[in-house]
């Protein structure tokens, strides 16, 4: 075998190894994407479970939230603070899930479930008052998104299918 033939053989083997390594990298990227999706989904479920656990272990909290939906001004300052904290937790989870769904890391149905659960409060006079007082604590894109949803609800229309942009 000549030196030229050995060089050609080396180039051929090098090309094959390059193709094999590209397939390996593609496989690793796919595995990483799956792991990121599972991690995001797990975090979403954990956050929802934390809020559900809070409500389940403090039965008076449900009654307080129902009273708050009727009238925030009828609550004592400490009660209003508790309601505000619980709503903030729920809306932060909702905002996070909107981001994760936009990046296709979780199914969009999770966001729809959050919206369904939060709508009864947010679509009330007390909810609109609370949102007007607290919207500034949320990111601009989420504020825009929720403002549009709330306008739609107030007009009596079903929530529009809109992109989160």
At 57-110, the pLDDT tens digits run 988 998 999 899 888 888 999 999 999 999 999 999 999 999 999 988 888 888
- Tell if the pTM clears 0.85, that is, is over it: no
Structure tokens at 41: 């989904």
Inside any domain, residue 21? no
Least Cα distance to 106 among 118, 119, 96 occurs for 96
Inside any domain, residue 1? no
Inside any domain, residue 66? yes
- Which residue range(s) make up the domain with 89? 46-154
Number of domains present in the structure of the chain: 1
pLDDT at 164 over 50: no
Inside any domain, residue 60? yes
Inside any domain, residue 129? yes
Inside any domain, residue 38? no
Inside any domain, residue 3? no
Inside any domain, residue 35? no
Give helix 109-122 / helix 77-102 axis angle, nearest 10°.
150
């Amino acid at each position: 075998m000549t030196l030229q033939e050995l060089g050609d053989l080396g180039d051929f083997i090098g090309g094959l190894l390059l193709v094999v390594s590209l397939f390996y990298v593609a496989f690793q990227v796919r595995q990483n994407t799956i792991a990121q999706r599972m991690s995001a989904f797990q975090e979403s479920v954990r956050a929802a479970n934390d809020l559900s656990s809070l409500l389940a272990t403090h039965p008076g909290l449900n009654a307080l939230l129902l009273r708050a939906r009727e009238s925030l001004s009828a609550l004592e300052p400490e009660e209003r603070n508790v309601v505000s904290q619980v709503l903030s937790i729920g809306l932060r989870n909702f905002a996070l899930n909107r981001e994760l769904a936009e990046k296709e890391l979780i199914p969009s149905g999770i966001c729809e479930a959050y919206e369904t659960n939060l709508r009864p409060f947010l679509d009330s006079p007390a909810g609109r008052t609370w949102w007007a007082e607290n919207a500034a604590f949320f990111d601009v894109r989420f504020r825009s998104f929720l403002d549009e949803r709330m306008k739609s609800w107030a007009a009596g229309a079903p929530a529009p299918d809109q992109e989160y942009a």
